[in-house]
Amino acid sequence: MEKVTVAVETPYDVLIDHDLLKHAAAHLEDLIQGKKVLIVTDENVASFGYLGNLQEAIVGITSGVDTYVLPAGEAQKSAENYVALQGHLATLNYSRSDVIIALGGGVIGDLVGFTAATYLRGIDYIQIPTTLLSAIDSSVGGKTAIDLPQGKNLVGAFYQPRRVLCDLDTFQTLGETIFEDGCAELIKYGMILDGDLLGQLMDRESPLNALSGDLGAIVKRCVEIKRDVVLEDEHDLGLRQMLNFGHTIGHAVEQASHYKVSHGRGVATGMILTQIMAEKEGLTELFLTERFNKLLNQYHLLNQLNLVKDYDFEDLTAAMTNDKKRRGGEITEIFPDSFGKCRLETMPFDQYAGYLAAIIADLKADKLPIVLDGDEVA
């Protein structure tokens, strides 16, 4: 078993292994023994049996397990679900010493984390990520949030989980495109913070998949990177912004597509456009677009560009402008500097919008210096 400890105020362990769900009682005993436990998940995750397995594994040591199953998808990360979930906890008389488990991808993790952060002003929660993306990114670090119609992640809290169980076996039922979404954040880590990891990904014989022998090691490496960033800047005042490489454009694409484009593919779109922008405008010395393009294509992470290019540019920049205004008048963007290194650069939003308009124009005219690999995916 791999273990990464995140030494925030109340330190917690991220356990990475096969078969963790089956032995969840042993791995969670100190946190849930004799307590009421609410497991929140989505219909897909429940349909693959993970909810039943987890419930069966832990019910004996708790004072009772309740379950709460939502439909799948980003639309569930809503204020309505947040309020309903709070009401459910209150109706069941959950106390400050009871526990909530988020079993699922980043959508469930973010919603449950924010609920736990604020029910009775904070109760314990445990993350059991079941997508690659949530395992390597959203389940660790304590950023929790819900979306508003006005934009993504606008309401939330910094609130760390008490433990993270990453059962690698659960990835085997992930649809291919969902596994690939996780690879977008994986490639992000390589680009911004770990040249070795990036090289490893570029050089491997066959693309990473749910059965790859080194999957556990790769997940662990990503969790370590995330841990290091979070420990430096838990509340997102500086360094942690690096993790947003590709996310400025990514969030705007997600929102403008009404969440038909997934988070992972939104981020992939954002990363490649940001890299092209950086090369074109002389914002980086690192000319990487071609190899980056190839790597993203291995995971089919760019074909949604065929959709994005038909978007109304106004919609896209409106979403982005509002987002940026909310984060302050200027924009801080993350640019790759060399292999595995990146730089935060703050500029007036208008300057950024100019760069962006140039790239979108190229995209629309099929003049981007990249190739797509085939079918559209959204």
Ligand X SMILES: NC(=O)c1ccc[n+]([C@@H]2O[C@H](COP(=O)([O-])OP(=O)(O)OC[C@H]3O[C@@H](n4cnc5c(N)ncnc54)[C@H](O)[C@@H]3O)[C@@H](O)[C@H]2O)c1
Q: Which parts of this chain interact with a second copy (CB under 8 A)?
A: 79, 83, 86-87, 90-91, 93-97, 114, 117-122, 143, 145, 148-151, 154-158, 235-236, 322, 325-329
Its sign, for the CA torsion 239, 241, 242, 243, is positive
Residue closest to ligand X when measured from CB atoms: 106
Q: Are 316 and 254 in contact (CB under 8 A)?
A: no
Applying CB under 6 A, among 8, 15, 48, 339 the residue interacting with ligand X is 48
Closer Cβ to ligand X, 134 or 304, answer by number: 134
Q: Does 160 bind ligand X (CB under 6 A)?
A: no
Q: Which two tokens stand for residue 69?
A: 């199953």
Nearest distance in Å: CB 360, a second copy: 22
Applying CB under 6 A, among 55, 81, 127, 130 the residue interacting with ligand X is 130
Applying CB under 6 A, among 39, 104, 128, 308 the residue interacting with ligand X is 104
Q: Which two tokens stand for residue 100?
A: 């909530």
Phi and psi at residue 210, to the nearest 5°: -65, -15
175-188 per-residue burial string, b: 16 or more CB within 10 A, e: under 16 = eeebbbbbbbbbbb
Distance CA 228, CA 200 (A): 20
DSSP state of 71: P
Closer Cβ to a second copy, 209 or 322, answer by number: 322
Q: Which does 167 bind (CB under 5 to 8 A by kind): ligand X, a second copy, none?
A: none
Among 248, 264, 258, which Cα is nearest to 347's?
A: 248
Site stretch for ligand X (CB under 6 A), options 62-70, 71-79, 214-222, 319-327: 71-79
Nearest distance in Å: CB 327, ligand X: 15
Q: Which does 149 bind (CB under 5 to 8 A by kind): ligand X, a second copy, none?
A: a second copy
Q: Which does 130 bind (CB under 5 to 8 A by kind): a second copy, ligand X, none?
A: ligand X
Phi and psi at residue 259, to the nearest 5°: 65, 20
Among 202, 210, 205, which Cα is nearest to 179's?
A: 210
Q: Which does 11 bind (CB under 5 to 8 A by kind): a second copy, ligand X, none?
A: none
Given the DSSP bridges, would you call strands 151-158 and 143-148 parallel, antiparallel or unpaired?
antiparallel
Q: Which does 173 bind (CB under 5 to 8 A by kind): ligand X, a second copy, none?
A: ligand X
Residue appearing with tokens 């832990």 = 58
Given the DSSP bridges, would you call strands 341-348 and 330-338 parallel, antiparallel or unpaired?
antiparallel
Q: Does 159 bind ligand X (CB under 6 A)?
A: no
Q: Which does 265 bind (CB under 5 to 8 A by kind): a second copy, ligand X, none?
A: none
Q: Which does 86 bind (CB under 5 to 8 A by kind): ligand X, a second copy, none?
A: a second copy
Residue 323 buriedness (CB in 10 A; 0-12 / 13-18 / 19+): buried
Distance CA 207, CA 299 (A): 7
2-41 per-residue burial string, b: 16 or more CB within 10 A, e: under 16 = bebebeeeeebebbbbeebbeebbebbeebbeebbbbbbb
Closer Cβ to ligand X, 48 or 313, answer by number: 48
Nearest distance in Å: CB 210, a second copy: 32
Q: Report the alpha-carbon angle 356-257-247, nearest 5.
A: 50
Distance (Å) of CA 152 to CA 44, 129, 147, 250, 350: 22, 20, 4, 11, 22
Closer Cβ to a second copy, 44 or 317, answer by number: 317
Site stretch for ligand X (CB under 6 A), options 5-13, 68-76, 117-125, 327-335: 68-76
Q: Which does 74 bind (CB under 5 to 8 A by kind): ligand X, a second copy, none?
A: ligand X
Q: Does 263 bind ligand X (CB under 6 A)?
A: yes
Applying CB under 6 A, among 57, 107, 126, 319 the residue interacting with ligand X is 107
Q: Which two tokens stand for residue 131?
A: 């997508």
x/- string (CB under 6 A) for ligand X, residues 277-306?
Answer: ------------------------------
Phi and psi at residue 33, to the nearest 5°: -55, 125
Closer Cβ to ligand X, 44 or 248, answer by number: 44
Q: What residues make contact with ligand X under the rule CB under 6 A?
A: 42, 44-45, 48, 72-74, 77, 104-108, 110, 130-131, 133-134, 137-138, 141, 143, 152-153, 170, 173-174, 178, 181, 263-264
